[in-house]
Chain A
Amino acid sequence: MTTRRGFMAGLLAAGALPQATWGDAGAPVMLGAARDSAGAFGLAGLDSKGRQVFHIPLPARGHAAAAHPIRPEAVAFARRPGIYALVIDCATGHVAHEMQAPAGQHFYGHGVFVARGDILCTTENHIDTGEGRIGFWSRVEGYRRIGEMPSGGVGPHDVRLLACDVLVVANGGIRTHPDHGRDRLNIPDMRPNLFYLSLRDRAVVERVDLPPELHLNSIRHLAVGPDGQVAFAMQWQGDVLDPVPLLGLHRRGGKPVLAQADMAEQMAMRGYAGSIAFDGAGQSIGITSPRGGRLHVFDTKGAFKASHKRHDICALASGRAGFVASDGMGAILSVTDRLRLLTRHDGQAWDNHLVRL
């Protein structure tokens, strides 16, 4: 760990170099990763019609990408338990940096830029103890490692930034070890939580636990609404036939609201939500289940509004109106009261996540 002073210095350092913007990378509005028909992986920038404005090859299947708020720079994480992440210059298509997880730790697949893009935060696992960590990297110092904090739980997966320099972390609760690939080592004892961390004073702000009977519900992915409401998507590790809620909503200081559809629709989700997003108006939250071929839409109070059916649908982002979704058959879809095809990229199997810029 670095000193508090060093950490703050890194946090406040301003980027001094004259640099490009996303406009130099074709002005994409979102990023998505895909596998092509030859089995090769890549990262694509997409415009609002779902058309590709750039495509950059990746060496392996990634999980998510963290997009810089201004610069055309994306950090692509290897799938967990990966030890590397690639910083990609989306204007040139080159790998600008290769980030290596600290010895004894690995990445979990998500990260987020904070401090106007000067600092990258990454979810990590301290392998020996199984303790989750949030790693800090100084972009302006060439992605130098400048510190870390406990994530407040086991298996931190997604991480997002709220206003007031507060991070919200989805501690999925599942312990893995690189020697055992993606095997889940602690299912009976898992205790997922939602954890809020202040970047200013590096303190725990709030911790939200699920009711005991839902301790097998791994909190995995996050979306933040326009007024700071946090929506979290879960993946049930119990019996696939249990119709458990897969969406939670939380406001700081309040109790979490768990949301579900009617029982038949809920069972059709197969206990799995792969991606989550607010719609463009911030009035609805969507979760996808590629296993159930469904997108479920709820309002911000947790009432079920609609189910859209599409085979292998997974990645989801907010659209100008409604949502944008993608699937494993190459489709980029617009979602309002129904699904509508924006563009289809033949042979491109779109991966878990679409990252909104």
Chain B
Amino acid sequence: MVPRALSGLIERADSVAHDAAQFAQVSIAARGLLALERLLYDPALSGYDAGNYSCDLSRAISADLARMAVAVADEWRSEFAPELESAGGAGSRYLDPREAAQAIYTALDTGLEWNAAQRIGRPLGSFERPRPGRAEGWRSDRPLRNVTLSLQALRDLAHALSDAPTPTMDAAFAEALDVAARLDDPAFAGVESPSGRLKVEILQQRIEAIRAAVASEIGVPLGLSAGFNSSDGD
């Protein structure tokens, strides 16, 4: 999906890369970090010189990412944060403060689940068929670093949500981050050997342990839980 979208732009030397406003309308497959990673680290796409079209395209993607980051931060400050704080008020998307807390709680639990099931689960694949090529950002050695940064951010989010002491959760975060720090496999390439696989699985289990601690030390006291329908469908 990403390489096809990029190749299309490159083959046409599409002028959209020279117009920031137009570039914002390009398919998301040709934008974002995964597209940029291809242009910087995929040998099939990264062999270009300064000043040629692929170089311009890399700059366009970078500028587009910066534009979106600023827009998200602005919207967060000017719209979303006030909406969370005024939950229950007229026109608010949250009917009461508990729904606002539920939204944060869902972001927390979904973020932890995404790390365990997707960032780690996708490269793990199955024992018979590990899929290291499915690790997020493996070309640029990002997989483990992305998990670590996400866990640190989620730990801060968890503390922002609850004023009560959370000793079990704190220990679970510390344990998972410690396992991550000692895991000498930045791209999860080890999933192809039984022993390497076990190490990555241990990190996955430590993250699941955080989810359990979050549920008991934050979810239960605040009356929040993972989505009734989202967590168990049919």
Contacts and interface: CB of A to CB of B under 8 A. Distances in A.
Interface of A: 35, 63, 79-80, 109, 220, 235, 239-241, 243, 263-264, 272, 274, 290-291, 293, 309, 311-315, 327-329, 331, 341, 344, 349-352
Given A239-B122, A240-B118, A274 B28 contact: no
Contact of B230 (A35, A235, A263, A291): A291
Given A263-B28, A329-B99, A290 B233 contact: yes
Contacts of B1: 243
B228 A349 contact: yes
Nearest to A328: B228
A344 B230 contact: no
Given A80-B234, A344-B95, A314 B27 contact: no
Given A274-B229, A312-B229, A329 B102 contact: yes
B28 A351 contact: no
Contact of A272 (B29, B106, B134, B233): B233
A311 B228 contact: no
A243 to B, nearest CB: 8
A314 B229 CA distance: 7
Given A312-B228, A313-B229, A352-B234, 5 more contacts: A263-B29, A311-B99, A311-B227, A328-B230, A351-B229
Nearest to B29: A263
Given A291-B230, A329-B99, A311 B28 contact: no
A35 B225 CA distance: 13
B9 interface: no
Interface in B120-173: 122, 134
B72 to A, nearest CB: 13
B59 to A, nearest CB: 22
A291 B95 contact: no
A350 B29 CA distance: 36
8 contacts: A35-B228, A264-B28, A314-B230, A314-B233, A315-B229, A328-B228, A328-B229, A352-B233
A314 B232 CA distance: 11
Interface string B76-120: 000000000000000001010001001100100000000000100
A305 B187 CA distance: 40
Interface string B195-212: 000000000000000000
Contacts of B234: 63, 79-80, 109, 220, 274, 352
Contacts of A293: 106, 230
A13 to B, nearest CB: 33
A327 B233 CA distance: 13
Contact of A331 (B27, B95, B122): B95
A309 B93 CA distance: 9
A290 B118 contact: no
Given A263-B28, A344-B95, A291 B233 contact: yes
A240 B229 CA distance: 17
Specify which of B1, B118, B233 lies most central, judged by the most chain A CB atoms within 10 Å of its CB.
B233
Nearest to B230: A290
A351 B228 contact: yes
A30 B78 CA distance: 40
Nearest to A326: B229
A349 B28 CA distance: 35
Nearest to A80: B234
A276 to B, nearest CB: 13
Contacts of A341: 95
Nearest to A263: B28
Nearest to B117: A240
B229 A290 contact: yes
Contacts of B29: 263
A99 B72 CA distance: 54
B178 to A, nearest CB: 28
Contact of B27 (A240, A263, A329): A263
Contacts of A63: 234
A109 B234 CA distance: 9
Nearest to A327: B229
A328 B233 contact: no
A32 to B, nearest CB: 12
Contacts of B93: 309
Nearest to A157: B234
A63 B118 CA distance: 28
Contacts of B28: 263-264
Contacts of A109: 234
B88 to A, nearest CB: 11
B5 to A, nearest CB: 10
Contacts of A327: 229
Given A239-B122, A328-B228, A351-B228, A311 B106 contact: yes
A262 to B, nearest CB: 8
Interface string B26-48: 01110000000000000000000
A312 B28 CA distance: 25
Nearest to A339: B93
B27 A352 contact: no
Contacts of B27: 263
A349 B95 CA distance: 15
A327 B27 CA distance: 31
